[in-house]
């Protein structure tokens, strides 16, 4: 069993981690670059970027209270959309946070260089090692340092705004949109990475005290505060700094301070910049180190990353790996460019977070019970998805290609390592499954209400059609006179079928005529009675409930049961590796069917590696078994032949008409809902795992 992290972080510590992940480069480095792109409109661009982040922040706040576990965005996307998308999200968010933390460490040198001659690279590596050791010591100690750093930075930023507001020059704000709307959005895309840390605090959910209250409060409060702190600080920067000086400046806060305060205050600002960037680097290391831990739990990374230090309560190997990558980036890579590339993937991940919320809500999973429900669903997450995707288009081709590179690496890692190990159940699968089951219930209701179905019986050579007629008459409902007998085999069979135009053809198959079904048209619903002839029917087994052929199977079973006074057993055979969620969903579906059909019924969900053994046990005490046949003209496969030979009960083999239905719906039913005896499974002659 994977080790559990300890809940040691309170509200203020979590709040400061979230603020710390945002307050570094977004204030101390990026404004000069943003001004170069959009001029004074960068003030508004920061606010717009925060608005775009807000839907994902709401979604993550909700999901974190339903799943307060380490992993954050990766965990939610993995559980919502499956392990492949989870792998992409986990690796991408991990890399982008490490990139951003490394960028913060390099930014330290920019500010330290204002008042010391210490080598930038040496200082960055030294601080990186110190932060790594701090995180290995323990989350509580790291959280305390984070709280002190962020509190200091916030106080001094407020002093900067208060002291500089009286020095602003109104002429410095004109023109406000020098590059138009496109420049405004390009600037919003550039500064978007400033907010990336707000949702990453959810990766610490397993270490948070009272997560149901703490996480939504910390995430949303920190975002709202920064949505006003960024515009206020940049308002003063633009108002006190000449445009030619501010554009492209990599220490904009210190530069702006020179126009407001004496030199000793500027030195304090530079020190604050060091603290802020150290805070950001620490927050990034703290959050990003939880992603390998969470991925290992979901079997998408080696299990060694789940080990937690006995004293520190932190995922030791995960912290070491993240810290090592961080130091390597500081030493050898142009991290600033990588941080810019990471913003494109951050926007994509935030869009995926909104999709995950929709998947969880629509799936109605029994265990998804968030303590906080985000308002505005589903409009707000839909807007968030569109806004994030549109923002990506403003980042330029190189950033988009960089994000695609991370996606390809995620796909490669999943294909090589994760595919055979991953937990493959997801809220998306469950959502599709639930919607499919609801659709089946709706169609069964409509089918059972139809009392005017035209049914034709194709007689056997022996002319012994009593059992076949006994099945056909209930299907015709009140219109028994519409049950007719057609000669079989007969050269005019196709013409007679076309003339009578029945909705359902029913026939029996003798051993000598095992492939008779091939002569029946594929554009009609067909039921073939195989094996021995049924006598008195007291119990009917419907095999493979949950697939696209089930409407006809269930309606046949119900009408025969009503006519014979019989009961129904809904049977579904699953691979033992399926999740408890799928088993419970099928049991509930069977219960809903039982309430709908109005006859006595029972549920039997069997987990077995041996399909034939499971089916034999399921029908050994029944008088009729109904299963799905293949799609198209051919009824029988090796699987069907083995079932007929093995099962003693008479079998009614059902094939639905080959109608022009939306293939996506049928495909989703087959893949996510149908069991190992659905029509699609029989068609392939095998029993694939679900």
| Residue 690 covered by a domain | no
For 473-483, the pLDDT digits (tens) are 777 755 544 56
Query: What are 260's two structure tokens?
Result: 């407001």
Q: Is the pLDDT of residue 495 over 90?
A: no
User: Between 335-363 and 83-112, two packed helices, what is the crossing angle to 10 degrees?
Assistant: 140
Per-position b or e across 280-298, b if 16+ CB within 10 A of its CB: bbbbbbbbbbbbbbbbbbb
Q: Find the DSSP H helices in 138-210.
A: 139-164, 180-191
The per-type count for the chain, helices as H runs and strands as E runs, is 27, 9
CA proximity to 234, closest of 252, 222, 260? 252
For residues 484 and 456, the answer to whether their CB atoms sit within 8 Å is: yes
For residues 77 and 94, the answer to whether their CB atoms sit within 8 Å is: no
User: How far apart (Å, rounded) are the C-alpha atoms in residues 16 and 531?
Assistant: 72
* Same domain as 593, residue 454: yes
Higher pLDDT pick, 185 / 417: 185
For residues 267 and 63, the answer to whether their CB atoms sit within 8 Å is: no
Does residue 658 sit in helix, strand or coil?
Answer: coil
User: Between 83-112 and 290-297, two packed helices, what is the crossing angle to 10 degrees?
Assistant: 170
User: Between 263-288 and 316-332, two packed helices, what is the crossing angle to 10 degrees?
Assistant: 130
Answer with the one of 393, 424, 455 that is the final residue of a domain. Answer: 424
- Per-residue pLDDT averaged across 150-164, rounded? 87
CB atoms within 10 A of CB 334: 11
Does residue 687 sit in helix, strand or coil?
Answer: coil
Higher pLDDT pick, 409 / 99: 409
* Same domain as 178, residue 83: yes
Answer with the one of 399, 424, 449 that is the final residue of a domain. Answer: 424
* Same domain as 639, residue 522: yes
Q: Is the pLDDT of residue 262 over 50?
A: yes
Supply the pLDDT for residue 686.
32
Residue 238 — very low, low, confident or very high, per pLDDT cuts 50/70/90? very high
Helix (H) or strand (E) holding 91: helix 83-112
* Same domain as 477, residue 416: no
Handedness of CA 259, 260, 264, 267 (dihedral sign): negative
* Same domain as 460, residue 412: no
* Same domain as 473, residue 371: no
- Per-residue pLDDT averaged across 520-530, rounded? 80
* Same domain as 620, residue 563: yes
Higher pLDDT pick, 687 / 358: 358
Per DSSP, 533 falls in state P
Answer with the one of 380, 399, 424 that is the final residue of a domain. Answer: 424
Supply the pLDDT for residue 510.
54
CATH of the domain at 544: 3.40.50.620
* Same domain as 184, residue 48: yes
Highest-pLDDT range among 9-18, 143-152, 527-536? 527-536
Highest-pLDDT range among 6-20, 249-263, 537-551, 626-640? 249-263
Q: Which CA distances in Å does 475 have to 456, 537, 666?
A: 10, 15, 24
What percentage of the chain reaches a pLDDT higher than 70? Answer: 74
Q: Report the side by side order of strands in the sheet with 504-508.
A: 484-486, 455-458, 504-508, 525-530, 651-655, 624-628, 539-543, 567-574, 601-607
Higher pLDDT pick, 233 / 272: 233
For 399-411, the pLDDT digits (tens) are 788 778 888 888 8
- Strand 525-530 versus strand 651-655 pairing type: antiparallel
| Residue 6 covered by a domain | no
Supply the pLDDT for residue 58.
94
Handedness of CA 290, 295, 299, 301 (dihedral sign): negative
- Per-residue pLDDT averaged across 534-551, rounded? 77
CATH of the domain at 197: 1.20.1740.10
Supply the pLDDT for residue 376.
92
Supply the pLDDT for residue 354.
93
* Same domain as 487, residue 404: no
As for how many domains the chain has, the answer is: 2
| Residue 72 covered by a domain | yes
For residues 482 and 503, the answer to whether their CB atoms sit within 8 Å is: no
Cis peptide before 586 (omega within 30 of 0): no
| Residue 110 covered by a domain | yes
Handedness of CA 419, 423, 428, 433 (dihedral sign): positive
Place of tokens 């008479």: 650
Q: Is the pLDDT of residue 347 over 90?
A: no
| Residue 136 covered by a domain | yes
Higher pLDDT pick, 452 / 572: 572
DSSP string, 541-604: EEESTTSTTHHHHHHHHHHHHHHHT-EEEEEEEE-TTS-HHHHHHHHHHHHHHHHHH-S-EEEE
User: How far apart (Å, rounded) are the C-alpha atoms in residues 313 and 603?
Assistant: 45
Helix (H) or strand (E) holding 530: strand 525-530
| Residue 599 covered by a domain | yes
Average confidence score pLDDT of the chain: 77
Handedness of CA 428, 433, 439, 445 (dihedral sign): negative
**Burial of residue 678, with CB atoms counted within 10 A of its CB: 0-12 exposed, 13-18 middle, 19 or more buried:** buried
User: How far apart (Å, rounded) are the C-alpha atoms in residues 330 and 335?
Assistant: 7
| Residue 678 covered by a domain | yes
Q: Is the pLDDT of residue 566 over 90?
A: yes
- Per-residue pLDDT averaged across 612-640, rounded? 78
**Segments forming the whole domain that contains residue 447:** 431-684
Supply the pLDDT for residue 602.
92
Q: Which residues pair with 601 in a beta bridge?
A: 568
Q: How far is CA 681 from the centre of its chain?
A: 27
Query: What are 232's two structure tokens?
Result: 């206020």
Supply the pLDDT for residue 338.
62
* Same domain as 282, residue 177: yes
């Amino acid at each position: 069993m994977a080790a559990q992290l300890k809940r040691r972080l309170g509200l203020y510590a979590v709040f400061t981690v979230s603020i710390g992940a945002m307050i570094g480069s977004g204030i101390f480095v990026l404004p000069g670059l943003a001004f170069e792109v959009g001029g004074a409109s960068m003030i508004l661009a920061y606010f717009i970027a925060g608005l775009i982040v807000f839907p994902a922040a709401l979604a993550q706040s909700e999901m974190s209270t339903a799943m307060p576990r380490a992993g954050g965005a990766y965990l939610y996307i993995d559980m919502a959309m499956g392990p492949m998308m989870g792998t992409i999200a986990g690796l991408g968010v991990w890399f982008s946070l490490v990139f951003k933390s490394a960028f913060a460490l390099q930014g330290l040198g920019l500010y330290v260089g204002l008042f010391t001659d210490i080598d930038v690279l040496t200082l960055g590596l030294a601080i990186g090692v110190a932060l790594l050791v701090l995180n290995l010591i323990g989350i509580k100690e790291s959280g305390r340092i984070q709280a002190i750093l962020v509190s200091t930075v916030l106080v001094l930023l407020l002093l900067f705004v208060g002291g500089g507001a009286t020095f602003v020059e109104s002429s410095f704000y004109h023109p406000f949109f020098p590059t138009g709307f496109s420049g405004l959005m390009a600037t919003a895309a550039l500064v978007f990475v400033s907010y990336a840390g707000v949702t990453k605090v959810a990766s610490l959910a397993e270490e948070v005290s009272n997560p149901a209250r703490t996480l939504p409060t910390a995430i949303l409060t920190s975002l709202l505060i920064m949505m006003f702190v960024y515009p206020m600080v940049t308002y003063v920067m633009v108002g006190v700094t000449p445009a030619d000086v501010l554009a492209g400046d990599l220490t904009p806060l210190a530069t702006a301070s020179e126009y407001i305060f004496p030199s000793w205050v500027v030195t304090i600002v530079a020190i604050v910049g060091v603290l802020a960037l150290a805070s950001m680097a620490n927050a990034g290391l703290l959050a990003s180190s939880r992603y390998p831990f969470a991925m290992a739990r979901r079997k998408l990374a080696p299990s060694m990353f789940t080990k937690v230090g006995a004293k520190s309560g932190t995922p030791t190997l995960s912290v070491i790996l993240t810290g090592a990558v961080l130091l390597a980036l500081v030493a050898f890579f142009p991290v600033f460019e990588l941080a810019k590339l990471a913003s494109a993937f951050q926007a994509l991940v935030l869009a995926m977070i909104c999709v995950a919320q929709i998947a969880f809500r629509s799936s109605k999973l029994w265990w998804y019970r968030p303590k906080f429900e985000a308002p505005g669903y589903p409009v707000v997450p839909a807007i968030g998805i569109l806004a994030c995707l549109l923002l990506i288009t403003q980042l330029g081709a190189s950033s988009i290609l960089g994000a695609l590179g991370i996606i390809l690496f995620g796909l490669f890692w999943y294909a090589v390592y994760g595919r055979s190990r991953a937990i493959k159940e997801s809220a998306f699968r469950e959502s599709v499954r639930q919607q499919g089951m609801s659709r089946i219930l709706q169609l069964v209701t409509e089918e059972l209400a139809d009392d005017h179905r035209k049914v034709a019986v194709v007689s056997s050579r022996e002319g012994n059609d009593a059992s076949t007629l006994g099945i056909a008459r209930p299907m015709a409902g009140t219109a028994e006179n519409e049950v007719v007998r057609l000669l079989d085999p007969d050269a005019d069979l196709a013409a007679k079928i076309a003339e009578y135009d029945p909705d359902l053809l029913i026939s029996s198959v003798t051993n000598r005529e095992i492939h008779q079904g091939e002569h029946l048209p594929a554009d009609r619903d067909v039921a073939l009675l195989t094996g021995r002839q049924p006598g008195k029917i007291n119990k009917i087994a419907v095999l493979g409930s949950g697939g696209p052929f089930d409407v006809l199977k269930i309606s046949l079973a119900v009408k025969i049961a009503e006519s014979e006074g019989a009961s129904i057993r809904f049977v579904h055979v699953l691979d033992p590796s399926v999740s408890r969620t799928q088993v419970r969903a099928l049991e509930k579906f069977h219960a809903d069917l039982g309430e709908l059909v109005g006859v006595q019924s029972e549920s039997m969900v069997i987990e077995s590696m041996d399909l034939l053994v499971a089916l034999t046990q399921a029908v050994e005490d029944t008088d009729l078994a109904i299963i799905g046949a293949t799609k198209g003209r051919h009824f029988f496969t090796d699987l069907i032949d083995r079932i007929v030979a093995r099962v003693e009960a008479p079998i009614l083999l059902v094939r639905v008409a080959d109608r022009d239905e939306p293939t996506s719906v049928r495909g989703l039913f087959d893949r996510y809902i149908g069991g190992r005896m659905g029509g699609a499974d029989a068609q392939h002659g095998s029993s694939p795992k679900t």
